[in-house]
Amino acid sequence: MAEFTISTFSYQPEIRHNLMEGIHCLQKQGINVELSEKTKGKFLFLTCLLVNKNYDQYQEQERVLRYQMATKLADLVLTRITYHTLKRILKSKYQHLTEIDNKRILQKADNYLKTLNRDEILDRNRGRQKELIEIIYAYLTHHDLFCLEGFFRFRLKDYFQDLEESVDTAVDSYIVEQDYHEFIKLLRYFLDLQEPRMEEVHVIVKENCDFLILDEEKKILTRENLQRLMFGLSHDLGYDDLLLSALITIAPKRVILHAFAKPELVDTIINVFQERIVFCHGCCLCLGNYQPSENKFLH
């Protein structure tokens, strides 16, 4: 009779549930497996026993049993244990974060773990699951005692490093997002303080780090125009800052966006001006057929 034992102290209900699911699946295939349990201190020991009097089928059924249990253990590692480990790493390394922060970051870390290569999401996930099943199956083939926590800590070091990387990346991303939201709030505050100097402006953001701002009559606001508008501001503003500063200083009631590049910058303009934004997708400005009489004021 094939017999092996799986032990745990942290995931007792979960491992019992997963193994019972696996055994029910085996029983439907005509493979007779008994599951017994006992506790010793904080540990739960679950013993799987293959009962089969047909020697010709015995070795194949033992292989199927061990592989099925490896599959169920891998499922547990990739779900419950992964989540708890992400949570533990986060609390250990970033103690200053709030519970709300932790909840959002955990979701980010889990998403990042599943999409380390966005072009190969399914292959990555299936590959990780298959690899984990094979590692556990190989262990169960040569050992009759499987300690879940010990196996995860000492046999899956590469996967643990992936979890740490996911947490660190999620925290960095979350901090950048929070800083961005504060930046948008500040720009919105400055915009609300301004009296509109124009009813509307037309904005074209180009691929070559250039932009155009035109007034209601589609006349270009030259560099000199903008310098007068933004009197007192630094002349060393970068490309993005110059465009944002100009628009906030003008504070138009409508910002009409034409054919535009640099999605991140355009997203910022949209987030700041919100209900003032109007999209245009078909005029001469959008199609690049407009020939202004003034020279571009940048570069």
Q: What is the mean pLDDT of each run of 10 residues along the chain (299 residues)?
A: 89 95 92 93 94 78 94 94 95 92 94 64 62 94 94 89 93 95 95 93 80 87 69 59 88 88 87 93 67 40
Q: What pTM was computed for the model?
A: 0.75
**What local confidence, expressed as pLDDT, does residue 233 receive?**
52
Angle at the Cα of 170 (from 274 to 267), degrees rounded to 5? 20
Determine the Cα–Cα distance for residues 187 and 199; give it in Å rounded to an integer. 19
Query: Which of 296, 288, 239 is closest to 268 using CA atoms?
Result: 239
